Structure 1
């Protein structure tokens, strides 16, 4: 059961010297240990790994069409790298250790520099031993701003996360290689929070209009969210604007790595509840972000918001004629692990389990030497994900966005991460317009570390 505001669960390198600021050509982003107060006051502080010693890392805001440059400085005792999640990026800058770059050793540096073609809500996180490094705090928000912003009063970034802590010591609990977590739902925390705080809150006025940029930075938790005292519209998913804002009439499901941009009007009066609620393990709804309403901003609400300006290259033509490739999700506890071996996998199953490999994609355990598919530059690609397991999987494609494809051929919103439920399938299509070797994996990071990782090649 997660920590709540009511109760806290019980029982359970010296940095390289940098040049003076006036001599720096590239801003630094330093991965290093730090100590933060994640748990409520009265409980021990937690030793984390953070960018610039912060959790989450520094928020990066840049205009669309600009060029982003950061020099990663590794102040950890282990290798690391940075993935710029959701950016349609040059392959060499994608940050996947072992595929697009060598990991940056302790004390080492690596220069990232790339164009930002799309406006939207993105994020950055470690992509070397991601399950542990992201869980320890190595992530931050990357906001690419439209040249014409929407009609709002305030723009707020909310990075949702959970942390698995030992309340006696404040340290991260459990073994990051724990086979039970890796073969089941993943590493789920017992403390939930936003922007590194379990008690995150906002102040607002009645009829104030906010843009809420929600980012799920959790290792494995799927957040189910609800608005209280606010009326909202979804205007973008995974950084990509919707053609028309969609009223929020049901719960918002946010899988690991997914983002949603909401424009909300605060409808509650001063002194009445307003919050972003999260569904809890005890079947209750609890405030993940409380909104304190201080008084009226205006006497009347505004009209529904206009759509955000579209990003370039959002069409996916030629889907009906594209070759359909099927990718089956296999393995995990309670189903795939009972067969004795992964279908199509020659290696003895017990040897895989001993190596901590519990998952496969179409019989392939781990990234492998050969890609799942090779595409010609500009080709329309079509993949059907089939979930043969009893757990959900958040499938993430690097370097490009895709559209979901319904049975009737209609296309859904553009995304880079899609939640595929147990015993269900989902079809996606994208234009393979970004050359290079691109990772495709489950963003339940324990699943990715335990075999549910592959790649495609575009040339």
Structure 2
């Protein structure tokens, strides 16, 4: 496929990540929240998101190392890798129907790409080196251009050396706004992420054999929007839409807004009939949109807490600021439905997808991994511990592109039976598709649309798609160490 180089574009101010001010705690660091247009008074507003009033939204994303303080002094600022001047950033806000033109500028000393997670986009824009595009080499530019077909809360990240690049902060937010959504008093973005840092602020080891072969290597510093226990300001007595993102490489979170009635209204950006926020574990790459009422008096607070741990772990504080908005009854309002193709379950073949450990762990010399026709040592791990349908990524001695896990006929519907044969959790992601979660043999499942689903140990879970988007699409666990050590493949729709 031809390599497309970007035309020179004017540089945008990339630290325009949008919204309600986030007060850094005494521990240091900053956070970012993004408001709905016109929702907050100027005194509460922060930097505006990247957006456009026209039909085209243009952004330049410069991937490079930038210093940013995560730990308080005397630790040094940490050498993050980001697309904007700080993490999180940028936050791109579009209206449904607008077209995105994003230019990746590679300021790294290794090749990279951008995968647009959760978006039903053309295969050539999916951002997987060697599979859907040539890698973007150091100093090069690559233009991605597409019109997102669905509203929702999406994000983007690299798809080679992901364990280190995402571990160091290389991710951004893409929000596609519904044209007829209910109005809220604030629309904020909260990215939950751990960092593998030592006391000096330096990064530790992102991948270990022990972590890769088990539940993953966990970070030691928990943050929201890059800040340790930040205070996020919200309008007093306002109705808040919070877009919660789990952008960690390993950790599962189950969030609560303590002190408020909170309702989930979207999963992975896809509308869900409002249901109480009382247990929706989010694996890496999963998102939920939550509605809650801010405290009725200025200065009062709510706590954002992760209860998916031995003891609840506080993550952030929401603090009411400004004059109280008019009192009204809090009623969660449903978001408008997305036009996702509905699979025909009556005639859909069932395709088994078994996620397991490899029969024999493999190890490859770095020289074998270099100069391959479909990948290289940056995109491949030297060891494999995991498999899908007994096939590790890659297979066959790393010498050829592995065959697809399955080839689907364009236009037909299919049911994937995801079988977790391991004692560990696996968030399973399919590129290019929004699937319908149907049922589980081990728990009650709320039918919903998603692009990533958390597969519990020993569980069999069914999801369905209508194969209407042709191309080769990655299919993998989003615990990045599992992905990088074999639990990845691709499906072909032809």
Query: TM-score by structure 1 length?
Result: 0.86
What SS does the aligned partner of 1:180 have? helix
Matched, 1:284 2:304: no
Matched, 1:34 2:66: yes
Return the match for 2:284 from 247, 256, 273.
Answer: 256
CA shift in 2, pair 1:400/1:350, >3 Å: closer
Aligned to 1:5: none
CA shift in 2, pair 1:231/1:41, >3 Å: farther
CA shift in 2, pair 1:403/1:17, >3 Å: closer
Tell me if the contact between 2:295 and 2:301 (Cα under 8 Å) persists in the aligned partners.
no
What SS does the aligned partner of 1:254 have? coil
Matched, 1:451 2:486: yes
What SS does the aligned partner of 1:73 have? strand
Matched, 1:238 2:263: no
What SS does the aligned partner of 2:281 have? strand
Aligned to 2:136: 104
CA shift in 2, pair 1:360/1:292, >3 Å: same
Deviation at 1:108, TM superposition (A): 1.0
What SS does the aligned partner of 1:448 have? helix
Give distance in 1, aligned partners of 2:349 and 2:333. 36
> What count of residue pairs does the alignment treat as equivalent?
422
Gaps in structure 1 of 5+ consecutive residues: 1-15, 332-340, 343-347
Give distance in 1, aligned partners of 2:142 and 2:342. 34
Aligned to 1:385: 418
Give distance in 1, aligned partners of 2:460 and 2:9. 52
Please list the CA deviations of residues 177-205 of structure 1 after superposition, one character each: whole Å capped at 9, or x if unmatched.
42112111112111111111113221234
Matched, 1:184 2:214: yes
Aligned to 2:154: 122
Deviation at 1:391, TM superposition (A): 0.7
Deviation at 1:299, TM superposition (A): 6.3
CA shift in 2, pair 1:115/1:20, >3 Å: closer
Aligned to 2:276: 247
Aligned to 2:25: none
Return the match for 2:104 from 61, 68, 72.
Answer: 72
Give distance in 2, aligned partners of 1:37 and 1:411. 40
CA shift in 2, pair 1:382/1:95, >3 Å: same
Give distance in 1, aligned partners of 2:460 and 2:96. 34
What SS does the aligned partner of 1:311 have? coil
Aligned to 2:230: 200
Deviation at 1:270, TM superposition (A): 4.7
CA shift in 2, pair 1:141/1:358, >3 Å: same
Give distance in 2, aligned partners of 1:359 and 1:271. 50
Moved over 3 A (4+): 16-22, 267-273, 298-301, 348-355, 407-411
Deviation at 1:301, TM superposition (A): 3.8
Aligned to 1:12: none
Gaps in structure 2 of 5+ consecutive residues: 1-5, 13-56, 366-380, 396-401
What SS does the aligned partner of 1:305 have? coil
Aligned to 1:7: none
